[in-house]
Amino acid sequence: MRILSQQSLEDWTTFGLPARAEHFASCASEDEVKEALAWHREQNCALHVLGGGSNVLLADDLPGLVLQMGIGGVTEVEDTDDGVLVRVGAGVGWHEFVMTSLDRGWYGLENLSLIPGSTGAGPMQNIGAYGVELEERFHGLEAVEVATGETHHFAHSDCQFGYRESVFKRALKGQYVITAVTFHLLKTPELRLQYGAIKSALKAAGVTDPTPKSVSDAVIGIRRSKLPDPSVLGNAGSFFKNPVVDEARHLALAKKFPEMPQYPTAGGIKLAAGWLIDQAGWKGHDRGTHGVHDRQALVLVNKGGATGSELLQLAEDVQQDVLKRFGVQLEREVNVLPGAQL
Ligand code: EPU
């Protein structure tokens, strides 16, 4: 493992923003992760872990060490009665893993097709789409403790999963580097078709007897039609989380906007941030080098030549306007490095 200096990170994140890492190590095994962490402890410098770089906004150069996760491998570790346990290296691309699982006849992740990023980053924010969240097929994970270099195992109950949440974003933030994730996948498909968009896409494709593959194809089609391809237009997917509001706020808004999308959840009513931003007139907003995507208002885009601080300014303007119009505070879903800027 080599430690590089002043490495450009432009091609390592999907926003494609200009920023450099003071030191940079790409790690292809758990031993290399431990080696890089030992170096970081010796130097007593900052540490940032980068997976697929698809959920991060680089607001500036990163001091210290950037550990790029490159551990590969997809291995069946156990045959269970109803399925298989599959261990996946944290550096395996998420979509690549979903495609491999379909090829091997392991089901349950088809609704999560085409989500960018690495498998190791998936549990951090419990990725989810079209009615399925990663935690539903999650079995456990291995992670190296930054302070000691020791490997720890986390079971489902240790991870405190929530909507785009886990213990790794909260109480244990920055304390572990995830190196492998184990999933419990099914041998018999249990299709999840409750999302209207999936039903419509299957219908449009003339599918009357859906399979995991046809659901995956439908999801891929929907995502391609709404979300920009990062290799063409820099972005980090949904920039904000969908906000959960209390009953009073919900009732006031629902009265004024009867057509407003709303989803009851355990903690309150979840609203669609994309709808609020769209309604406020930001969809397609253009600031030359950057703006709001014209087909999905929840996505901010780097059209070429934007800086991280410009994108953060746009995000703040959107947040303030939505707060003013609807009394709803939007929270960022994307991680801003280094540290919180707003
Ligand atoms: N909407 C608008 N205008 C917009 C965008 C959305 O009116 O510009 C409306 C839609 O018509 C719909 C509602 O808002 O009624 C929700 O939109 P959509 O179904 O597209 O989903 P979303 O809430 O915007 C979430 C996830 C996505 C995930 C989709 C599908 C979050 C923050 N985002 O988006 O995840 O793919 O559901 O399940 O939860 C990501 O996290 O990066 C991501 C793309």
pLDDT tens profile 71-110? 999 999 999 988 999 999 999 999 999 999 999 999 999 9
Beta-carbon contacts of residue 47 (< 8 Å; ≥ 6 apart): 37, 40, 64, 65, 67, 146, 174
For domain 234-337, give the CATH number. 3.90.78.10
Q: Which residues pair with 47 in a beta bridge?
A: 65
pLDDT at 330: 98
Is the domain 4-69 a CATH 3.55.50.30 member?
no
CA of 244 to the centre of ligand 1 (A): 14
Name the residue of 115, 298, 318 to mutate for ligand 1: max ligand atoms within 8 A of Cβ. 298
d(CA 250, CA 50): 37
Indicate whether residue 165 lines ligand 1 (CB < 6 A): no
CATH classification for the domain delimited by 74-186, as one of 3.30.465.10, 2.102.10.10, 3.30.460.10, 3.60.150.10: 3.30.465.10
Identify the CA nearest to 49 among candidates 12, 1, 92: 12
Q: Which residues pair with 78 in a beta bridge?
A: 85
Element (H or E) spanning 213, and its range? helix 212-226
The values of phi and psi at residue 50, to 5°, are: -120, 125
Taking 50 as the pLDDT cut, the residues of the chain under it are 341-342
Indicate whether residue 46 lines ligand 1 (CB < 6 A): no
Identify the CA nearest to 148 among candidates 64, 33, 67: 33
pLDDT at 342: 40
Identify the CA nearest to 33 among candidates 138, 152, 115: 152
Asked if the peptide bond before residue 338 counts as cis, ω within 30 degrees of 0, the response is yes
pLDDT at 266: 86
pLDDT at 340: 52
d(CA 185, CA 108): 6
Residues annotated catalytic, as ranges: 164, 238, 333
Cα end-to-end distance, the chain, whole Å: 35
Cα distances from 227 to residues 183, 293, 341, in angstroms, run: 27, 8, 26
d(CA 116, CA 142): 21
Atom of ligand 1 nearest to the CA of 242: 32
Q: Across the chain, what does the average pLDDT equal?
A: 96
d(CA 252, CA 21): 47
Indicate whether residue 129 lines ligand 1 (CB < 6 A): yes
Helix (H, G, I), strand (E, B) or coil at 2: coil
pLDDT at 336: 96
Name the residue of 109, 112, 194, 238 to mutate for ligand 1: max ligand atoms within 8 A of Cβ. 238
Indicate whether residue 283 lines ligand 1 (CB < 6 A): yes
Q: Which residues pair with 162 in a beta bridge?
A: 165
CA of 298 to the centre of ligand 1 (A): 7
Indicate whether residue 54 lines ligand 1 (CB < 6 A): no
CA of 280 to the centre of ligand 1 (A): 16
Domain parsing of the chain, residue ranges: 4-69, 74-186, 234-337
Token pair listed for 190:
């249990």
Token pair listed for 256:
């004024």
